[in-house]
Amino acid sequence: MAEVGPSALSAQAQDEVVDLCQELIRIDTSNYGDGSGPGERVAAEYVAERLGDVGLEPQVYESEPGRATVVARWAGSDQSRPPLLVHGHLDVVPAEAPDWKVHPFSGEIADGCVWGRGAVDMKDMDAMILSVVRDRLRSGRPPARDVVLCFLADEEAGGTYGSAYMVANHPELFADCTEGISEVGGFSITVRDDLRLYPVETAEKGIVWLRLVADGVAGHGSMLPADNAVVTLADAVARIGRHEFPLRMTDTVRLFLEATAEAYGIPFDPEHPEPVVAKLGTIGRVVGATLRNTANPSMLKAGYKVNVIPGRAEAFVDGRTLPGYEDEFFATIDELIGPRVRRETVHQSPALETTFDGALVDAIGAAVRAEDPDGRTVPYCLSGGTDAKGFAELGVRGFGFSPLRLPPDLDFTGMFHGIDERVPVESLQFGARVLDRLFDLC
């Protein structure tokens, strides 16, 4: 594939991506997971207006009052090819203002960054998409093929009111899409001044959120209990929390670690990958979690008064499963909790994995190299989950690609759901230029 010349993205668009990111952050779309948040309707109307300004005809779909998703179709030069699905989510996890250096919904610019909840997850990508689409429509530059744009609700709580709803109720909007791009990938890892890796997500772990329940005999807190549900549950939770699942090297993880080892000039032993992971710095937290299944106790619930032994106790566990190892996960959990604790599945979505090949993968690599000649794209597995799971039910092959060239010392992954979330202005502009090239190449 031939490389392209200087970026055609206008200076106006490169300024606008910053403004759009700020404005989206200022719209509070906190998702508490219990329906108590403000929802995405205001943000969806904002996005729809920005797309409508340049001639598209976006539609807003509500799964529940206030839970809104925007979809628009953008005509490309070659309409005989399947369209590319480009999707992002509008909701964000909650933020407590006193914990932050700046207000999390201010969209303030400081130290060369746009600050606020959603700056990296993922209103940055939403802004990049909007700025590029608006610029290309203003200048009459259609994409190489049709593009289906989708800005979703509820990703941060599993997608029930977003991707799952859209796939179940409006599958015709995406029926001819075979590939899609979204979060979490395309961010740079600096190996040295003349080499940066850009991981593209081709796999992601499955999600299994469990409720564990122990029943016992209620009684007075001053007496010797016959069967204390809290103790039974606490023992099971402690066993889960201390357990380390065995190493399982999936195809995607192996390819990423091989490429990383080559880049750093160190050997790679698939039986002992820790030295390679250690080279990755903060991104090693994500990569390390893709070497095995994980289960983290996260919530406890029992009792209503200090001198009453409750007859029931509950705990919640966040489980993440590697592609192909779901059955092993459940068998291990059952062994750890024992016969006196029962498990219930609160939410489950599958692990995904696709291969790192094809015309779209080639186009992603070329678009990155056009803006960063020292950049190299590599596949990787995400320890979390995205809306790609929902669209996979329709046969859409998903890739995590929200391109950002980052400063080497920025703890990017630590800002996902963390405090002081921010994205460098130059990274936003870089990402917009890469996306603009991708629409020409793919």
Provide the pLDDT for residue 223. Answer: 85
Arithmetic mean of pLDDT, 340-350: 94
Q: Residue 224 pLDDT > 90, yes or no?
A: no
Q: Residue 125 pLDDT > 80, yes or no?
A: yes
**What tokens does 25 get?**
């952050």
d(C-alpha 394, C-alpha 438), whole Å: 23
Amino acid at 387: D
Partners of 300 in beta bridges: 315
| Strands of 294-302's sheet in order across | 294-302, 312-321, 206-215, 341-349
d(C-alpha 346, C-alpha 319), whole Å: 11
Q: Residue 57 pLDDT > 50, yes or no?
A: yes
pLDDT in tens, 132-160: 999 999 999 999 999 999 999 999 998 99
**Domain annotation for the chain: domains and CATH numbers:** 11-203+352-441 (3.40.630.10), 205-349 (3.30.70.360)
Provide the pLDDT for residue 281. Answer: 83
Residue % of the chain over a pLDDT of 90: 90
Q: Residue 4 pLDDT > 60, yes or no?
A: no
Could you tell me which residues come within 8 angstroms of residue 197 by beta carbon, excluding any fewer than 6 positions away?
188, 189, 191, 259, 260, 263, 375, 376, 377, 378
Burial class (CB in 10 A: 0-12, 13-18, 19+), 311: middle
Question: Is the CB of residue 419 less than 8 Å from the CB of residue 121?
Answer: no
Provide the pLDDT for residue 285. Answer: 86
d(C-alpha 40, C-alpha 175), whole Å: 24
Provide the pLDDT for residue 1. Answer: 39
pLDDT in tens, 42-51: 999 999 999 9
**What tokens does 114 get?**
């746009």
Provide the pLDDT for residue 377. Answer: 98
Instruction: Identify the helix (H) or strand (E) that includes residue 1.
Output: none
Give the model's confidence band at 182: pLDDT under 50 very low, under 70 low, under 90 confident, else very high. Answer: very high
Arithmetic mean of pLDDT, 105-109: 97
Provide the pLDDT for residue 2. Answer: 45
Give the model's confidence band at 411: pLDDT under 50 very low, under 70 low, under 90 confident, else very high. Answer: confident
Rg (CA), the chain: 23
d(C-alpha 160, C-alpha 91), whole Å: 13
d(C-alpha 156, C-alpha 237), whole Å: 25
d(C-alpha 424, C-alpha 429), whole Å: 9
Give the model's confidence band at 384: pLDDT under 50 very low, under 70 low, under 90 confident, else very high. Answer: confident
